Amino acid sequence: PERLRFRWRLAGFDEGWVDGGTRREASYTNLPHGEYRFEVQARLGADTWRASPAGGRGAVVVRLAPRPWETL
């Protein structure tokens, strides 16, 4: 497990991949409302990056509704 590495990105927010190292959780604060695609990849040692099986393609769609003060 100590050789397993992760990287992720929140498409629509992150400009590139975030290197998570051995961490198995990601957190974001102050995201504006909208739709995002959370993508995760993993690799073992120096192996190539592989998409996770989450959602069948290594991604999960996240939809954030506007806060009450952001609506009319």
What is the predicted pLDDT for the residue at 52? Answer: 61
The whole-angstrom separation of Cα 60 and Cα 43 is: 19
Band of residue 71 on the pLDDT scale cut at 50, 70, 90? confident
Coil/strand/helix, residue 56: helix
pLDDT tens sequence across 3-55: 999 999 999 999 999 999 999 999 999 899 999 999 999 999 888 888 765 54
What is the predicted pLDDT for the residue at 47? Answer: 85
Tokens at residue 15, please?
Answer: 């400009």
Whole-prediction pTM = 0.78
Q: Higher confidence at residue 46 or residue 65?
A: 65
The whole-angstrom separation of Cα 52 and Cα 69 is: 36
